[in-house]
Every structure is written in structure tokens, then in C-alpha cells.
Amino acid sequence: METTALPAFRKTTETFTSGAKTLPRRYFVSPEVFAREQDRIFAAQWVCVGHQSQIANPGDYFVQDVAGESLLITRDQKRTIRGFFNVCRHRGTRLCEDSSGHSSTIQCPYHAWTYALDGRLIGAPHMEEDRGFQKHDYSLGAVQTALWEGFIFLNLADQPRTVEEVFAPLAGKFTHWNLPQLRSAKRIAYDVGANWKLIFENYSECYHCPGVHPMLSKVSPYDSAVNDLCEGPFLGGFMAITKGTSLTMSGDACALPVGDVKGEDHARVFYYSFFPNVLLSMHPDYVMVHQVWPQAPERTLISCDWLFHPKAFERADFHPEDAIEFWDMTNRQDWHVCELSQQGIASRAYRPGPYSPRESIPAAWDREYLRHVD
């Protein structure tokens, strides 16, 4: 076995800014701040809405709410992934009520206006009686859509920067993880009574791990973190696996390796946050992805997927529940302390507290957040 890490991981100098403090109370409780976040961040940045495996076949679709908008994500007959506002061009009726499904067309439930999967209006009963009516004038409202490593990103801005430009710092970094080909074995949705920023800040440090995650700390020491992305919209690095071969209830790998994982990376878990709504956790045998969706200043919906190599599903030694149970337990421990944080921050007694030197990544995340919202 090789003993050198993959070239994709390049450690950078991580610095701790002495005197860095947590955000003031208003950023966690104010409806005005929450509205500004929705406008300046979630309606202006590339946000992840899922993985291409969710709509593997032409006609597959799912619906996702982003910044107060219901969006319809489809794969058309040419296999192109497209995003549309879930709004009929006739009288504005919501088109798709189901969260996901399969259909050869998109039809309005009100007056049966019908659209092709590429958004073209192809049927409008009795509108031929209006000589000035032209179907090509009433295609569905399109949303900017792009793929990055198999993940589907949408942007509500009129002229956003391209995904290629935004993700340029990550070019080639995750190629060996085989992310585009992976498939989800399970999705769990969590409704957390905490501000969305607390989810990111909690994910970005293991200072809390010895007390909050006793089982995790036994197999992945809290002080083993090494970060290579330390500033900007992409943050994180790896932690060591010191007992067993993966982070599972049994300690054993539960599936085939997800990709070309070599050398020391066989004993590492990589954790990265992508501003503003992705937490990407890459293990040797599976990838866990959280999508973070703010609902109110004190409430966040989180969807968590466990992705595996497609060939793993065909094998007798495939035990995804071993990983799912481990992280469902760990997730719920995290959500509980995030809710406790929210409750304390809501108090008039709360004042910003100092970050520990082991919390340099949460402090960097705060700086990136403030760059967008202030």
C-alpha cells in the first residue's frame, strides 16, 4: 500500500486570528437579517439542490424551495438537466404538487396548459382562438442550472458568475472520489430548531467532539484535524480514522471504496463546507452530503444523503445502515447542541464570546458570511 497522500490535498498555513468572536445576537434572531440573507445569499449564490442520480432518467423530476421560490428540476428527453419556476405561464398556478416523480410532460392542474420537459409550451386548450397568441412566448421561467461533480446547483440571479468560475479553487480536487457516479442509499430530513449559521459553525470544528460525540471521538480524535482550505467560500480538511477502517457502528467498511482512494487517505475522513448550503463529508467507502435550508431565524431544514459506489448496491457485503446509523446518531447530537446554542443566544444575556484556537474555521466562515450580508 502506498504511504503518501494524494496530491489533491495540499496543506496550507492555517492561522488563528486572536480576538475573533462569535457573531452578535441579531444575526441569529432578527427577521430582518433573515430576510436579507434570503435576498443576498440564497437568491444570489449557487445553491446545491441535489445530485444528478435523483433524476437519472428523462422525465424524472423533483421540487425544491429556494429563497421562497418553488423550483422544478427535471431531466429532459435529451438528458439535459433543467430548472424552472414551478409556475404556470397562464394564471400562475403551482404546476407540480408532488416533491418528486416522473412524467413525459409538465401539465398545469388548473387549465391543462402543458409544457415539454425543456420548458416549451406545447399545449394550451382553446388559445388558438386568440390570433395573437404564440406558444413560444409562454415557455416556463427558466432558472440558471449547472452541474459540479455530479451535484445540481441552481442560481436565481439574472447574470450570476459561472459555476466554473466560482468553483475554480476546487478544480480537480475531488475527481478521485468518483462523486458524479455515486448513488444515494438513504435520505433523512431533519427539522432543527436553530439558526442555519449554527449548523455550519458546529460542522466546522471538533472542539465540541469529546463531550458531544463520545463514540466519534474514540475512532477519530478531535485534535487530528488538518485543514487545507482556510479562507473563503470553501473551508475544511481531514481528520484521522485511528480505529477500524471507516466511521460506522461496527468500525468496518460498509461498502466498496467510492473512488480511487489511496495511501494515507484510506485512514482519513474529509470534511468541507461549501457556502452557502453544502456540507460534504467524504469517507473511504461512502460520501455524506448535507443540504442546509433556512426556514426562519430559529429553524433550519437539513437533508442528509449517504452516497455509495453504484456497484456496491449489487454486493452481499453492502451494509449502508452501518454508516447511516452512525451518522444519524452523530447528527442528532449536533442538532441538539445547536438548538441549545440557539436558545442561549436568544437571551438578552448573550454577548459574543471568543473563538478558541481550535475554531479558526468557524471564524473564517463568519468572515465569508459577513462579506455577503453586511
Predicted confidence at residue 261, as pLDDT, reads 82
Q: Which residue has the cell 437568491?
A: 43
CATH topology of domain 26-43+175-373: Naphthalene 1,2-dioxygenase Alpha Subunit; Chain A, domain 1 (3.90.380)
Predicted confidence at residue 252, as pLDDT, reads 97
pLDDT band at residue 18 using 50, 70 and 90 as cut-offs: confident
Predicted confidence at residue 345, as pLDDT, reads 98
Mean pLDDT of 333-346: 98
Percent of the chain with pLDDT over 90: 93
What Cα–Cα distance (Å) separates residue 275 from each residue in 93, 183, 330, 365? 32, 23, 22, 8
At 282, phi and psi to the nearest 5?
-110, 115
Residue 193 DSSP code: S
Is the pLDDT assigned to residue 353 strictly greater than 80? Answer: yes
Per-domain residue ranges for the chain? 26-43+175-373, 46-159
Compute the distance between CA of residue 288 and CA of residue 308 in angstroms, rounded to an integer. Answer: 9
Contact 222, 206 (CB under 8 A): yes
Pick the more confident residue, 38 or 14. 38
Mean pLDDT of 303-327: 98
What mean pLDDT value characterizes the chain? 95
Is the pLDDT assigned to residue 110 strictly greater than 50? Answer: yes
pLDDT band at residue 15 using 50, 70 and 90 as cut-offs: low
Compute the distance between CA of residue 123 and CA of residue 8 in angstroms, rounded to an integer. Answer: 50
Predicted confidence at residue 96, as pLDDT, reads 98
Predicted confidence at residue 143, as pLDDT, reads 98
pLDDT band at residue 2 using 50, 70 and 90 as cut-offs: very low
Compute the distance between CA of residue 85 and CA of residue 364 in angstroms, rounded to an integer. Answer: 34
Predicted confidence at residue 69, as pLDDT, reads 98
Compute the distance between CA of residue 68 and CA of residue 276 in angstroms, rounded to an integer. Answer: 16
Is the pLDDT assigned to residue 4 strictly greater than 60? Answer: no
pLDDT band at residue 5 using 50, 70 and 90 as cut-offs: very low
Predicted confidence at residue 256, as pLDDT, reads 95
Predicted confidence at residue 1, as pLDDT, reads 30
Predicted confidence at residue 86, as pLDDT, reads 98
Tens-place pLDDT, residues 254-287: 999 999 887 788 899 999 999 999 999 999 999 9
Compute the distance between CA of residue 350 and CA of residue 124 in angstroms, rounded to an integer. Answer: 58
Tens-place pLDDT, residues 47-90: 999 999 999 999 999 999 999 999 999 999 999 999 999 999 99
Compute the distance between CA of residue 92 and CA of residue 82 in angstroms, rounded to an integer. Answer: 20
The 3-state DSSP class for residue 198 equals helix
Is the pLDDT assigned to residue 3 strictly greater than 80? Answer: no
pLDDT band at residue 135 using 50, 70 and 90 as cut-offs: very high
Is the pLDDT assigned to residue 13 strictly greater than 60? Answer: no
Tens-place pLDDT, residues 22-46: 999 999 999 999 999 999 999 999 9
Contact 259, 154 (CB under 8 A): no
Contact 133, 124 (CB under 8 A): yes
Predicted confidence at residue 264, as pLDDT, reads 86
For the segment(s) 46-159, the CATH number from 3.30.365.10, 2.102.10.10, 3.90.950.10, 1.20.1280.260 is 2.102.10.10
Is the pLDDT assigned to residue 140 strictly greater than 90? Answer: yes
The 3-state DSSP class for residue 62 equals strand
Predicted confidence at residue 8, as pLDDT, reads 47
